[in-house]
């Protein structure tokens, strides 16, 4: 989130990545479909720029001369996304537990 250079040491701030899932019918079990990674998208959002002319990674020429490019990642948005994902997972586990309990109760009534 705070990386200003890429894996080659070049001044290229980190860009957020987002995983896109799709259903995978080859993983279908008990009527539920599986998922697989369809693609990994890289954010196209502009970097945030701060004027820091003495910074070793400051842009040397052009419109942003003297500025340092920082990743445009918002920690609040990332935390909200993580919480939303956790809640969705918990809801799905709850549905599976209720379904399992209903099946068990049905078998108890029939037996």
User: What is the number of alpha carbons within 13 Å of residue 77 lying toward its C-beta?
Assistant: 6
Give the residues across from 32 on adjacent strands. Answer: 29
CA distance 76 to 62: 32
Over the stretch 56-103, which tens digit does the pLDDT of each residue have? Answer: 999 999 999 999 999 988 889 889 999 999 999 999 899 989 989 999
Confidence (pTM):
0.63
Is the model's pLDDT at 45 over the cut of 90?
no
Is the model's pLDDT at 44 over the cut of 80?
yes
**pLDDT of amino acid 16:** 87
**pLDDT of amino acid 26:** 82
Q: What is the mean pLDDT of the chain?
A: 90
């Amino acid at each position: 989130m705070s990386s200003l250079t890429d894996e080659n040491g070049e001044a290229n701030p980190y860009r957020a990545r987002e995983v896109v899932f799709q259903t995978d019918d080859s993983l279908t079990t008990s009527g539920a479909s599986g998922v697989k990674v369809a693609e990994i998208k890289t954010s196209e959002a502009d970097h945030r720029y701060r004027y820091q002319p003495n910074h070793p990674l400051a842009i040397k020429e052009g419109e942003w001369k003297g500025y340092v490019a920082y990743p445009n990642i918002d920690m609040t948005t990332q935390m909200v996304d993580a919480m939303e994902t956790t809640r969705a997972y918990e809801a799905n586990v709850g549905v599976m537990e209720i379904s399992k309990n209903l099946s068990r109760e049905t078998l108890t009534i029939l037996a």
